[in-house]
Amino acid sequence: MKSKNLIMLLILFSVVALGHKINIFATVEGNQIYTQSYASDGGKVKGGTIEVYDKAGNKLLTGKTDSLGEYSFTIPKKDDLKIVVLGGMGHRAETIVPAEDLPEVVVPKGEKTQVKPKKEPVQSPLIATAEIDTMVIRKMIEDALDRKLHPVMRMLAEQKKEKVKFTEVIGGIGYIFGIIGIFAFFMGKKKNV
């Protein structure tokens, strides 16, 4: 029983024990937007709330990140989309996907994205196939590219993780000593006068 409680605690701990900062990375894949949310120490934001807003600030949809900190959704609208992730305990990050990054035709939610090849009369096979081909091929290429690029995008998201740099830490300590040193200088001056 005790060990069970401990495990529960550890799970809860792993869910919410983030660094101080969370980040969100979003890419467009076909008619979907894929997002990945992670903490500054590299941990994933599990079960975080994702909120999507349009340019005017209307909330379009909400969702929850999965165990990998990922969440994908169908593009609700061709507009500058603001994606916000809330990690709980005051953690929040946002990113904006500009309208020009979104595909021209946004398929409304629920509708199947598959392009149905039209049945053309047999008389003019050449013209018909040429017309369908461009659409189908474009769709196929996009699908294939999305599938192939998904791991690359994920890697990019991983690489983009902003970890604390040693030089910045040392720099920060330097600032603290410098600023307090300046204070001390003026205090000492006053004391001598």
Partner 1 sequence: MHIAEGVLSAPVLIGGATIATAGTAIGLKKIEYQDMPKIAVLSSAFFVASLIHIPVGPASAHLILNGLCGIILGWASFPALLLALFLQAILFQFGGLTALGVNTTTMATSAVFCFLIFGKLTRVSNQTVNFIGGFLCGFLSVLIAGLFVAVSLTLSGEVFIPVAKMIVIVHIPIMVIEGILTGFVVLFLKKVQPELLENYVQ
Mark the segment that binds partner 1 (CB under 8 A) among 58-66, 67-75, 121-129, 161-169: 161-169
Mark the segment that binds partner 1 (CB under 8 A) among 8-16, 47-55, 64-72, 123-131: 8-16
> Is 115 near partner 1 (CB under 8 A)?
no
For partner 1, the closer CB: 112 or 190 = 190
> Is 168 near partner 1 (CB under 8 A)?
yes
Q: Under rule CB under 8 A, which residues in 22-51 are in contact with partner 1?
A: 22, 40-41, 43
Residue 163 to residue 156: CA distance in whole angstroms? 14
> Is 98 near partner 1 (CB under 8 A)?
no
Which residues are near partner 1 by CB under 8 A?
9-14, 16-17, 19-22, 40-41, 43, 86, 88-94, 164, 168-169, 171-173, 175-177, 179-181, 183-184, 187-188, 191
